[in-house]
Chains A and B, each alone.
Chain A
């Protein structure tokens, strides 16, 4: 039942920028099984979107990819275009960031979904249209609205259509990149509910990428936190988000005040400085210049991702705490 869908081993993606190679993803291992929901958390520049694109073989030409991304029995890294095309949408599909604005404004919404279906499946147009109506119902949109134009849909509805499109070929894995950013809280809740429901109905595996930890708390079982191209902490969502071990995760969690919690009153703790540019990775632990708990080895030795029970963490402090 729980077969391994996605297996990423030592993935490294570098971009060629002005003559230098800057690593956006710097050695990542991840596994995803059927029906799993994994959250990938991190801020701009940490490499999470690059990782998602790598899974689908959608990286730009100036990107160098090393390592392995295995979906079922297909190796995505270095795969031929034919195999990639077969994989995309039928194996893994993606709901892109800012998907709400990714519609063609002069084509009807239904037609755009039908187009997506016809691109990947060998069916007739009327069959595709029927499938489109099914999908719309599934995501909670009245099928008669297929004749509307994108601007007649609200942001939340467009996002639902995007999800419908992603499900068009019944893939076992859907990658959602910032699925609820820029949506109102109410709509966000609807979308998250929808994702959870779809997961249950179709045993859908989800990889949710976002900087918003509160979203991950709602919809994922496991969470991996990325910083400067690497995973710095990974564990069960409920545990990791209530008891983070890595100082970066702690500050991320702290940045989301909890209504009703008196401890959250007052300005949320922030981190000084900014996430590092891929071209200028600090020596030792990439996080140490901003880390409130940095100590002796942090600026010399790059910590490795180590397992501590159900939690993985790449941090000297955690390692030391565990050793005691």
Chain B
């Protein structure tokens, strides 16, 4: 990280966060409430690249929204640079927003089709009444995001740009505010493969240049492998494994992480593997005990042994069987070392 930006990036802390939605179903569901995020705690160091990975329905998107203060929190706390968005309102909340910016998944949907590129980037500048010449700020942000010469793009409309260019406009709009934290919700999954690398490279470069902390949400473990310093694996609203990307993805402790890695397709070789049975997790029907237990291969194969009753009845907590590497699994914790 470059010198002058050391102090700029902000750290995050999340404690016992819970986000609930009213269930839309007329029949069934657990008491008419869906626990999208069900007790999540972690911290992110300033300047880190932190990945939150999991399948759809695991709550990662909702968690991202909670970090941005875009969704109502049921209980628990979020601290970014010492501030909790849930406690702020009005002008203070606006000032907070400047520090935490977002890049969404859909580049086309993220831009108002009736707004020119200039307007899209200038919007944030105007809202926060940034000092300096607006035109200059917009041009600099666009250039930094890789759209050069920036003036050429001022009057373009989103439909005239490619997917990669649109995403760059979104990034420009975010960095114009010089945020301390950038949350990326599947920032490249809708882009062409050959364009992804460029956008990711941009994000990492900007992270160092401006001094930001990157929180990246993804369903793609390969993405986490390439970019993350640390990664958190989520399942049905909880973090089931947390630690340095290199260790979590090569020596996973939690059976769910192991299964995910086993099925992730790889360019290099063809896998013949056991696929997890059953449908993806349904947040309105959360199993008792360890919420992964109905699909857990370790439990099924009988290797859980003495831990089996706990798996069925007791909710596992994130513990640290290996220093720096946490997992919420009775079997893994009991073993205290690499799981099978």
Are A and B in contact, CB atoms below 8 Å, in the complex? yes
Q: Is the CB of B200 within 8 A of A253?
A: no
Nearest 7 CB-CB pairings of A with B: A270-B197, A270-B198, A214-B265, A43-B192, A257-B226, A189-B263, A255-B193
Q: Is the C-beta of A251 less than 8 angstroms from some C-beta in chain B?
A: yes
A267 contacts B280, C-beta separation under 8 Å: no
Binding stretch for chain B, among A86-94, A180-188, A301-309: A180-188
Q: Is the CB of B268 within 8 A of A186?
A: no
**What residues of A have a CB within 8 angstroms of the CB of B316 in the complex?**
none
The answer to whether B192 and A211 touch across the interface, beta carbons within 8 angstroms, is yes
Partner-contacting stretch, out of B136-144, B149-157, B216-224: B216-224
Of the candidate stretches A2-10, A96-104, A271-279, the one touching chain B is A271-279
B-side interface mostly: helix
What are 30 A-B contacts defined by CB distance under 8 Å? A43-B192, A184-B219, A184-B280, A185-B220, A186-B259, A186-B260, A186-B275, A186-B276, A193-B275, A215-B265, A218-B270, A218-B271, A242-B268, A251-B194, A255-B193, A255-B197, A256-B222, A256-B266, A256-B267, A257-B223, A258-B267, A259-B264, A260-B249, A267-B200, A268-B196, A268-B200, A270-B200, A271-B197, A271-B198, A274-B195
Partner of B192, one of A44, A213, A260: A44
Q: Max chain B CB contacts within 10 Å: which of A190, A241, A257, A265? A: A257
Determine which residue in A186, A187, A271 has the highest number of CB atoms from chain B within 10 A of its CB, and name it.
A186
Q: Which residues of A contact B280 (CB under 8 A)?
A: 154, 156, 184, 186-187
With CB as the reference atom, state the residue of chain B lying closest to A154. Answer: B279
| B226 x A265 contact (CB < 8 A) | yes
A74 to B277: give the CA distance in the assembly, Å: 42
Residues of B within 8 A of A317 (CB): none
Alpha-carbon distance between A156 and B204 when the two chains are bound, in angstroms: 33
Q: In chain B, what residue has the closest Cβ to A189?
A: B263
Chain A, residue nearest B273 (CB): A189
When distances are taken between beta carbons in the complex, the residues of chain B under 8 Å from A192 are: 265
State whether A266 touches B267 (Cβ < 8 A). no
Q: A252-B194, A258-B225 are in contact. List 16 more A-B contacts (CB 8 A).
A: A43-B195, A44-B163, A156-B279, A185-B260, A185-B265, A187-B280, A212-B265, A213-B267, A238-B269, A257-B225, A267-B200, A267-B204, A267-B227, A270-B200, A274-B192, A290-B194
List B285-322 residues whose CB lies under 8 Å from chain A.
Answer: none
Chain B residues with CB below 8 A from A256, complex form: 193, 222, 266-267
0/1 string, A184-202, CB within 8 A of B gives 1: 1111111011000000000
A165 to chain B, nearest CB (A): 20
B158 within 8 A of A: no
- Asked whether B267 lies within 8 Å of A214 as measured between CB atoms, the reply is yes
Give A43's nearest chain B residue, CB to CB.
Answer: B192
Q: Which residues of B contact A318 (CB under 8 A)?
A: none
A293 CB within 8 Å of chain B: no
Of all chain A residues, the one with the shortest Cβ separation from B245 is: A265
A211 to B270, CA, bound (A): 17
A259/B225 in contact, CB under 8 A: yes
**Does any Cβ of B come within 8 Å of A254's Cβ?**
yes
Interface size class of B (residues with CB under 8 A): 35 or more
- The CA of A257 and the CA of B192, in the complex, are separated in Å by 15
A64 close to B (CB within 8 Å): no
The chain A residue with its CB closest to the CB of B295 is A186
In this assembly, does B261 line the interface, its C-beta being within 8 Å of a C-beta of chain A? yes
- Bound together, the chains give a CA A271 to CA B275 distance in angstroms of 34
Contact B226 A268 (CB under 8 A): yes
B63 at the interface (CB under 8 A from A): no
Q: Which of A190, A269, A270, A272 contacts B275 (CB 8 A)?
A: A190
Instruction: Give B contacts to A, CB under 8 Å.
Output: 55-56, 162-165, 192-201, 204, 219-223, 225-227, 246, 249-250, 259-261, 263-271, 273, 275-276, 279-280
Which of A215, A256, A269 gathers most chain B CB within 10 Å?
A256
In chain B, what residue has the closest Cβ to A265? B226
Q: Which of B192, B200, B246 has the most CB of A within 10 A?
A: B192
- Of B55, B223, B268, B279, most buried by chain A (CB within 10 Å of CB) is B268
Q: Is A217 an interface residue (CB 8 A)?
A: yes
Chain B residue nearest to A255 (CB atoms) is B193
- Residue A31 interfacial (CB < 8 Å): no
Q: A270 to B194, Cβ gap below 8 A?
A: yes
Say yes or no for A203: interface residue by CB 8 A criterion. no
Pick from B193, B194, B200, B268: contact of A212, CB under 8 Å: B193
A213 contacts across to B, CB distance below 8 A: 193, 267
Q: Does A121 contact B (CB under 8 A)?
A: no
Minimum CB distance partner of B261 in chain A = A259
Give the CA-CA distance A238 to B198 in the complex, in Å.
26
Q: Tell me whether A265 and B225 are in contact (CB under 8 A).
A: yes
Contact partners of B204 in chain A: CB under 8 A: 267
Q: A217–B265 contact, CB under 8 A? A: yes
Q: Among the listed B195, B225, B265, which residue makes an inter-chain contact with A260, where contact means beta carbons less than 8 Å apart?
A: B225
Q: Is the CB of A259 within 8 A of B193?
A: no
A186 to B259, CA, bound (A): 9
A266 to B200, CA, bound (A): 10
B266-A254 in contact (CB<8A): no
